[in-house]
Chain A
Amino acid sequence: MSQRIGEVIEASTTRFTAGAYELLAAPPFGSLVRASTRSEGSAIYGLVYEIRTGSKEPGGRAVVRGRTYSGRELYDEEIYAENPDLAEVLQTEFAALTVGFLEGGQIYQYLPSQPPPVHYSVYACAPAELIAFSECSDCFRAALFAPQLPSDELLAAMIRAAARARPDGRDYLVRAGRELASLLKDDYDRLTALLRRIRP
């Protein structure tokens, strides 16, 4: 079973942002997440491309807290333990690139007709779901050519995760590599850089 980790707080046709329920507990970069939609049995898939933590207040910023007023040194987790209010005023958010959707038990790797509704749940996908989604590599193109994203890093992270989820991970990497080679046949430098990132 996959776990509910947050909810959509901003959505557009090509990407959506979710607030995590637990501070600092965002899904990994490049992981596949699923957002609920208004119709039963359908869902929208996204690849996590950005994670950020900051103040919930507009314009608010975190301040350093490792050295207390009385001169005591606090480290890392201790700072949160000593300031329980921090978990209430800070928020971890993650943004996902929409790469497909589920409808009638079928996965489609192109944009859905509507973005996920704001405040609807976001789940981390379990390995089985990631395997099912990554059987098709149509979304590689969307990830590679999405503007203003670390797109090569994003796709490489997704491919590595999909390979790890499979018992025959190596075969998957080879398949993915071939797909990349055909997508990037005009850009040898970019292709080799990407292949180095997914090399077993």
Chain B
Amino acid sequence: MGLDLSALSRQVRQMSHTAAMSAADVATRAAQARARYLASAGEEGRWAQAVNLSREGANWLLAMPVEPLDTVRALPPPPAAYSVVATDGSQIDLDRHGAVACYLINIGQVFIRYGQQPKARLTSRPALYYREEDLYLRDGARRVLIEGNYLSARRDVDEGVALADLAEEWLSGAELPALALQDGTLVRWTLANAERFVQDHFIERYLAYLERMRALGVPVASYISRPRSPEVVGTIRLMLCPDVDVPAGRGAKCSECSDVRAGREPSCMLCQGLVDSDVIAAGLAEGQRGPLFISLSRINVDRYGEHLIHFFHMRVGRELCRIEIPRWVAIEPAQVDRVHALVYDQCARGDGYPVAIARAHEQAIVRGADRKAFLGMVEGSLYRAEAANDVSAKKASKEFSRH
């Protein structure tokens, strides 16, 4: 017996009803939060300080303003010719019930040059990992299996290294404006709760890739479609907080919230459930970007150093996207303009999503049929090599229903 669809449909209807009800409420609160946010324009220094003071005490993610809060930058004219590289990866995770311990990472790689001499190279490169040192991270006698989140972290590193390789191959010494694009975030926050040596292992390699890109002088940007992060909203919470007093050096401390102590609902509840794009979207027309912020994820602040990740929002059609860039790109206005113009151009060519990333994804994707073929290949090869080829009883039971 599979899914009971008739039982489910009632719940789906209720869910839609609730979603419709809350949409109106979200819009009202977003408008109020936005009004508070705009009222603070011109006081960025003060709120940057408030953010610093509240880093430890606030329960929320925070973003530190770098540019005036009411910044709206028009789309800079795109260059007539430019090059872009992008990578994206997919994986087949370790199958604990499978015949042999291994995982596969497939990296899609894209180079596209626009202008007088158009050219494109789309490739994918699979890598199979099965050696002891690939499967485990070691710290003295401790071993940590690379699977799940850690495999994703490894894939992120591999995507970065492949991107730097691509940039070296196609962009070094080129006169055209260039851009390196990644999908998703540049902040490796999934590692925030990892053990220190695991974090060190991945972060060091990841930052080494960013360092290579900096040495090449190719700006790196990542593209997040429909971002759900509430970092700017976290900063608005500080603006609403009765406890923040910057001149007195006092930040928000949620554990000692004075509203809660007085039996009131916390003032910042206005922001409950809002995300950055709810607040920023209203001010941006097609192609325009909002102000630059620094993401204050702990791992970003503690580990990224010169590569500290900044972000801004940009309007593409009905969507507001978030673009992340490292500090060495963010501090050069010309580079920020280039990222702004080129990412928008990529979206325009790709019907609202950057072409290069979409192509990299197409190259990287491992489809169901490919996955089956791969597993079949592994089993066949093990059989011929006369290696042990047993799957677990649990896996075997899932392949057939027995009656």
Contact present for B347 and A85 (CB under 8 Å): no
Contact present for B349 and A68 (CB under 8 Å): yes
How many Å from the CB of A58 to the closest CB on chain B?
8
How many Å from the CB of B285 to the closest CB on chain A?
13
Given A69-B347, A85-B110, are A57 and B118 also a contact pair (CB < 8 Å)?
Answer: no
0/1 per residue, A89-109, Cβ < 8 Å to B?
Answer: 100000000000000000000
A87 at interface, CB cutoff 8 A: yes
How many Å from the CB of B372 to the closest CB on chain A?
14
- Residues of B near A70 (CB, < 8 A) are 348
Contact present for A69 and B362 (CB under 8 Å): no
Contact present for B113 and A83 (CB under 8 Å): no
Contact present for A69 and B122 (CB under 8 Å): no
Contact present for A85 and B348 (CB under 8 Å): no
- Give the contacting residue for A69; candidates B113, B119, B349; CB below 8 A: B349
How many Å from the CB of A154 to the closest CB on chain B?
34
- Residues of B near A82 (CB, < 8 A) are 114, 118, 349
Main secondary structure on B side of the interface with A:
mixed
- Give the contacting residue for A85; candidates B317, B351, B355; CB below 8 A: B355
Contact present for A85 and B359 (CB under 8 Å): yes
Range for the number of chain B residues in contact with chain A: 10 to 19
Contact present for B113 and A89 (CB under 8 Å): no
A57 to B355, CA, bound (A): 16
- Nearest B residue to A57 by beta-carbon distance? B362
Contact present for B352 and A85 (CB under 8 Å): no
B120 at interface, CB cutoff 8 A: yes
- Residues of A near B113 (CB, < 8 A) are 84
- Residues of A near B384 (CB, < 8 A) are none
A 50-90 contacts with B by CB, 8 A = 57, 63, 68-70, 80-89
B121 at interface, CB cutoff 8 A: yes
- Residues of B near A83 (CB, < 8 A) are 349, 355
In the complex, 14 of the A-B residue pairs with CB atoms within 8 angstroms, ordered by the A residue number, are A69-B352, A80-B118, A82-B118, A82-B349, A83-B349, A84-B112, A84-B113, A85-B112, A85-B120, A85-B356, A85-B359, A86-B120, A87-B120, A89-B122
B 100-120 contacts with A by CB, 8 A = 110, 112-114, 118-120
